[in-house]
């Protein structure tokens, strides 16, 4: 990946990103509970260590962070949901910002719903998947941290999660920042969705 840039952080007053031709830049948003690995995936996928701030403490990303790729595609790192160790007013503020972004962003081209391979999807995960389907927003399910499960268990575990999600038509990607093949799998999926040349 060439020419990767951090563009802006914002919670309200989101930037309007355009290509050099003046067209709205399509955006891929990374959503999922705190600590699932959204920021880590961005750094790994873009091969740019430290670009997105990562932490083992949930609640690291507190703003919507916009990253651009060659001025033609943007990745949006969202705050995590389900993080209870912040003041309730903060959590409400993040949730409102995520909600508004999802509903009102005309350039939102794809939601990557990140799920920890080891865990059962939360009510928030299920609600987001249901909403994406009812609002006809393109969704891709990304199972993260696959390296933390024995490979023999990854399939059964993620299959169970998919049954709960009931998003049969959504593409699925298995991702680990310790797996060099993960990038290529995600690129292939983005390619099929016409978001990657
Ligand atoms: N073993 C393993 N750990 C991972 C992987 N991806 C992320 N992690 C770890 O998970 C923790 C959380 O990663 P983040 O990328 O900060 O998670 P996030 O979803 O951005 O979290 P918030 O910003 O709080 O919403 C960090 O300690 C990462 O090192 C992975 O593929 N495998
Ligand atoms: Mg983060």
Task: Return averaged pLDDT per consecutive 10 residues of the chain, 197 residues in all.
Answer: 89 95 97 95 95 87 93 95 79 91 97 97 95 95 97 94 92 96 97 95
Rounded to 5°, angle at Cα 3 from 60 and 15: 55
Distance of CA 154 to the CA centre of its chain: 20
Nearest residue to 117 via CA among 86, 87, 161: 161
> What is the structure's pLDDT at 1?
66
> What is the structure's pLDDT at 13?
92
Phi-psi region of 35 (alpha: psi -120 to 50; beta: other; left: phi over 0): left
> What is the structure's pLDDT at 85?
74
- CA–CA separation, 168 and 148 (whole Å): 25
- CA–CA separation, 66 and 77 (whole Å): 7
- Decide whether any atom of ligand 1 lies within 6 Å of the 171 Cβ: no
- Decide whether any atom of ligand 1 lies within 6 Å of the 178 Cβ: yes
> What is the structure's pLDDT at 86?
79
State which H helix or E strand residue 170 sits in.
none
Both tokens assigned to 106: 């005309």
Ligand nearest to the CA of 41: 1
Is 11:93 a contact under the CB 8 Å cutoff? yes
> What is the structure's pLDDT at 61?
83
pLDDT in tens, 110-119: 999 999 999 9
Question: Measured from the CA of 114, which atom of ligand 1 is nearest?
Answer: 19
Ligand 1, from 52, 54, 113: best to mutate by most atoms within 8 Å of Cβ? 54
């Amino acid at each position: 990946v060439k020419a990767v840039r951090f563009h802006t952080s914002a919670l309200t007053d989101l930037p309007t990103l355009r290509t050099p031709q003046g067209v709205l830049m399509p955006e891929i948003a990374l959503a999922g509970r705190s600590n699932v690995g959204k920021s880590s995936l961005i750094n790994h996928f873009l091969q740019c260590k430290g670009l997105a701030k990562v932490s083992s403490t949930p609640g690291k990303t507190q703003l919507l962070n916009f990253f651009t790729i060659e001025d033609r595609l943007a990745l949006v790192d969202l705050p995590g949901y389900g993080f209870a160790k912040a003041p309730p007013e903060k959590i409400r503020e993040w949730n409102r910002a995520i909600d508004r972004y999802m509903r009102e962003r005309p350039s939102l081209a794809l939601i990557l719903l990140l799920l920890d391979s080891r865990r059962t999807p939360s009510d928030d995960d299920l609600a987001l998947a249901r909403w994406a389907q009812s609002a006809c927003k393109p969704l891709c399910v990304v199972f993260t941290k696959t390296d933390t499960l024995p490979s023999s268990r990854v399939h059964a575990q993620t299959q169970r999660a998919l049954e709960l999600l009931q998003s049969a038509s959504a593409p699925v990607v298995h991702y680990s920042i310790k797996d060099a093949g993960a990038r290529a799998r995600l690129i292939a999926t983005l390619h099929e969705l016409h978001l990657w040349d």
